[in-house]
Structure 1
Amino acid sequence: MTGGDALLADLQARLGDFRGRLTANAPMEKVTWFRVGGPADLLAMPADEEDLALLLAAIPVDIPVRVVGIGSNLMVRDGGIPGVVIRLSAKGFGSVERVGETRLRAGTACPDKRLAAAALDAGLAGFHFYHGIPGSVGGALRMNAGANGVETRERVVEVHALGRDGRRHVLTNEEMGYAYRHSSADTDLIFTGAVFEGPSGDPSDIQAKMDEVQHHRETVQPVKEKTGGSTFKNPEGTSAWKEIDKAGCRGLMVGDAQMSEMHCNFMINTGTASAHDLETLGETVRRRVHENSGILLEWEIKRIGEFEPGREVEPFLGTVDDPSVEGR
Structure 2
Amino acid sequence: MKCIRELLFVLLSFIIGSCTHNSDMEKYQQKRDDVVDVHALIKEIPIDDVLIGSIARPFLLGDYLIIGDYKSSDKLIHIFDKNDFSYLASTAYVGQGPNEITVMGHIGIDEERHCFYVSDHGKQKIYSYDIDSVFANSDYVPTVKTEMNMTRFPDKYQYINDTLSYALMIEPTSTSTFNQSVAKWNMRSGTFEPMPYQHPDITKKRISFAVSQENDVYVECYTFHDLMSICKLDGSLKCNVYGPSWDKKESKKIHHYGNVMFCKDKIVAAYSGGDNKSKAYNPTRFFVFGLNGDYLKTLDVGFQIVSFCYDKDCDRIIMNLDDEIQFGYLDLDKII
1 or 2 for the larger relative contact order (CA 8 Å, sep ≥6)? 1
Same fold (TM over 0.5): no
Q: TM-score, normalised by structure 2?
A: 0.30
In terms of fraction of residues, the more helix-rich structure is: 1
Larger radius of gyration: 2
In terms of fraction of residues, the more strand-rich structure is: 2
